[in-house]
């Protein structure tokens, strides 16, 4: 009902306020923003998952003109400045992860607050922000006990392709378009909950800032929090995409003295070593190669590749009493096998890591501080910047694993 009321009200006043048809209470906040709020903008819309490759030919993402209503209470309109492509976006496109369609993907971004709804206090027009893909409602039991990466309200809203404040609010013509993870950042603007935003320094570049919401939190967080790596430990990281390389950075920041980077692509070697890996392993039998370097097995193995086989290799090269952590989200039916008796007799820990077990409002500023000290050089994860119109070609490059982070610059 809230949606119908707001849009009806907005339509009823279109043209009446003299400021882009916005009701007066919205136009007041709008006028202080960095530029006029458009009611329409360009966005990459996915209508069918699982299109054949190459995507450059099948073009599953179409650039369309979409509309959003003015922000309601608790909402903000963000002008997206940079949005990076993550493997989770590819899983939306290839159908490995099921989302309500049609949808505008994109869950790793930075931007500027253009307009806020009534009562919004945490951000104001003109603020630079990083966007986070699981809204931290601050009210549910998980949020209250300090685990907002498991926010129940945010998770439910994400599954339904809406915001925690309602929706879906995106439209293309008369058709509703779903929000991806409360953000839908492959677009010039995003209507989000204020609780999906973390303010960032005004002088931080948008390109690198876009990486903190997913790659940095999921990668560095998995090393620092989920695996709780301690100084002097040995670590193996399987899968050197943006999240995996951020895990290498996190392991180095935590004081690990042996960091073995593992990837099937030998071309990842030089970047992995430049970011702090002490060794690089490629090819078949990665677990045996890791054990050749650390015979008793590593203290912690992080699997960041999206592959069940790689996770089993990670288990194989973890020492007795060690921790094996996965950030992977492969197709939902994929399962791993491990003897229960070994889990117990070897006192192992197997842990899933979502958003790196981070508290975004605490950890994004922390990671930005480490970045500025040169201890978390996340800017080195950027392979290229592209235009929104090249998103299908960029999805091909992502599927080929030939890039780390491609960032759409707006
Ligand atoms: Zn991601
Ligand atoms: Zn919550």
Query: Would you kindly state where each structural domain of the chain is located, as residue ranges?
Result: 2-210+377-409, 215-354
Q: Give mean pLDDT, residues 337-352.
A: 96
Would you say residue 25 has pLDDT above 90? Answer: no
Peptide bond into 54 cis (omega under 30): yes
Q: Residue 20 C-alpha to ligand 1 middle, in angstroms?
A: 34
pLDDT of residue 330: 87
Q: Compute the distance from residue 98 Cα to the ligand 2 centre, in Å.
A: 22
Could you tell me the two tokens for 49? Answer: 């998952």
Look up tokens 């779903």; give the residue: 178
Q: Pick the residue with more confidence: 21 or 57?
A: 57
Is the CB of residue 229 less than 8 Å from the CB of residue 299? yes
Query: What confidence tier does 410 reach under pLDDT thresholds 50, 70, 90?
Result: very high
Tell me which residue of 157, 161, 94, 105 sits closest to 331, measured CA to CA. Answer: 94
- What's the confidence (pLDDT) of residue 28? 34
Average pLDDT over residues 66-91: 96
Ligand with minimal distance to 155 CA: 2
Identify the pLDDT of residue 32: 44
Q: How confident is the model at residue 2 (pLDDT cuts 50, 70, 90)?
A: very low
Q: How many C-beta atoms lie closer than 10 Å to residue 377's C-beta?
A: 16
CATH topology (fold) of 2-210+377-409: Quinone Oxidoreductase; Chain A, domain 1 (3.90.180)
* pLDDT tens, position by position, 97-141: 999 999 999 999 999 999 999 999 999 999 999 999 999 999 999
Q: What's the CATH fold of domain 215-354?
A: Rossmann fold (3.40.50)
- From the CA of 242, how far away is ligand 1's center (Å)? 9
Helix H or strand E encompassing 299: strand 298-303
Task: Report the relative pairing of strands 109-116 and 128-131 from DSSP bridges.
Answer: antiparallel
The ligand placed nearest to the CA atom of residue 139 is 2
**Mean pLDDT over residues 17-24, rounded?**
34
Beta strands in 87-174 (DSSP E): 103-104, 109-116, 128-131, 170-172
Q: How far is the CA of 151 from the centre of ligand 1 (A)?
A: 17
- Residues 217-237, mean pLDDT to the nearest whole number: 98
Task: Report the pLDDT value the prediction gives residue 29, as an integer from 0 to 100.
Answer: 39
The closest ligand to the CA of 329 turns out to be 1
Q: Using a pLDDT cut of 90, give the percent of the chain over it.
A: 87
Interhelix angle 308-316/286-293, rounded to 10 degrees, is 30
Count CA within 13 A, CB hemisphere, residue 148.
Answer: 18
pLDDT, averaged across the chain: 91
> Which ligand has the shortest distance to the CA of 145?
2
Name the band, by pLDDT with cuts 50, 70 and 90, for residue 385: very high
> What mean pLDDT comes out for the span 165-180?
95
What is the pLDDT averaged over residues 50-65? Answer: 97
- Of 23 and 52, the structure prediction assigns the larger pLDDT to 52
Q: Which of 123, 129, 197, 130 is nearest to 163 (CA)?
A: 197
How remote is the CA of residue 138 from the centroid of ligand 2, in Å? 5
Choose among 158, 86, 78: nearest CA to 110: 78
- Tokens 């030939």 found at: 402
Q: Closest Cα to residue 251, out of 200, 312, 301? A: 301
In this structure, the chain runs to a length of 410
Cα–Cα distance, 162 to 99 (Å, whole number): 11
Taking residues 90-95, report their average pLDDT. Answer: 96
* Residue percentage of the chain with pLDDT more than 70: 91
How far is Cα 240 from Cα 305, in angstroms, rounded to an integer?
7
Q: Are 225 and 384 in contact (CB under 8 A)?
A: no
Q: Is the pLDDT of residue 21 over 50?
A: no
Nearest listed ligand to the Cα of residue 193 = 2
Residue 35 pLDDT greater than 50, yes or no: no
- Residue that wins the pLDDT comparison between 372 and 12: 372
CA distances to 103, 222, 343 from 340, rounded to whole Å, are 40, 24, 5
Q: Is the predicted pLDDT of residue 27 greater than 60, yes or no? A: no
- Does 310 have pLDDT greater than 70? yes
Measured in angstroms, how far is the CA atom of residue 108 from the centroid of ligand 1? 6
Neighbours of ion ligand 1 (CB under 5 A): 86, 88, 214
pLDDT of residue 1: 32
Q: Using an 8 Å Cβ cutoff, are 273 and 237 in contact? A: no
Measured in Å, residue 257 CA sits from the centre of ligand 2 at 36
pLDDT at 14 over 60: no
What whole-number distance in Å separates Cα of residue 132 and Cα of residue 276?
26
pLDDT at 24: 34
């Amino acid at each position: 009902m809230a949606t119908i009321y707001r849009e009806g009200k907005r339509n009823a006043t279109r043209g009446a306020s003299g400021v882009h048809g916005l009701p007066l209470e919205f136009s007041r906040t709008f006028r202080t923003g960095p530029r006029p709020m458009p009611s329409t903008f360009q966005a990459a819309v996915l209508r069918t998952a699982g299109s054949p490759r190459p995507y450059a030919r099948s073009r599953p993402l179409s650039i369309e003109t979409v509309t959003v209503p003015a922000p309601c209470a608790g909402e903000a309109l963000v002008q997206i400045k940079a949005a990076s492509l993550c493997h989770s976006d590819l899983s939306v496109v290839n159908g490995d992860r099921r989302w309500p369609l049609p949808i505008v993907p994109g869950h790793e971004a930075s931007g500027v607050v253009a307009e806020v709804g009534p009562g919004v206090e945490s951000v104001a027009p003109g603020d630079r922000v990083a966007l986070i893909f699981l809204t931290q409602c601050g009210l549910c039991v998980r949020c209250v006990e300090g685990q907002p990466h498991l926010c129940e309200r945010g998770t439910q809203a994400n599954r339904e392709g809406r915001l925690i404040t309602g929706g879906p609010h995106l439209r293309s013509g008369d058709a509703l378009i779903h929000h991806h993870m409360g953000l839908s950042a492959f677009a010039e603007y995003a209507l989000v909950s204020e609780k999906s935003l973390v303010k960032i320094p005004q002088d931080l570049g948008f390109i690198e800032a876009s990486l903190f919401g997913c790659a940095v939190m999921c990668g560095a967080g998995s090393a620092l929090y989920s695996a709780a790596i301690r100084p002097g430990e040995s670590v193996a990281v399987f899968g050197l995409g943006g999240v995996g390389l951020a895990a290498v950075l996190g392991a180095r920041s935590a004081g690990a003295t042996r960091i073995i980077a593992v990837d099937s692509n030998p071309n990842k070697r030089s970047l992995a070593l430049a970011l702090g890996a002490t060794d690089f392993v490629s090819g078949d039998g990665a677990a045996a190669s890791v054990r050749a370097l650390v015979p008793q097995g590593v203290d912690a193995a992080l699997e960041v590749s999206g592959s069940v086989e790689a996770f089993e290799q990670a288990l194989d090269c973890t020492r007795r009493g060690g921790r094996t952590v996965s950030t992977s989200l492969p197709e939902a039916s994929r399962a791993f096998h491990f003897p229960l008796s070994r889990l117990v007799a070897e006192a192992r820990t197997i842990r899933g890591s979502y958003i790196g077990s981070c508290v975004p409002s605490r950890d994004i500023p922390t990671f930005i501080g480490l970045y500025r000290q040169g201890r978390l050089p996340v800017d080195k994860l950027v392979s290229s910047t592209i235009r929104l119109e090249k998103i299908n070609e960029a999805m091909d490059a992502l599927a080929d694993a030939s890039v780390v982070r491609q960032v759409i610059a707006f």
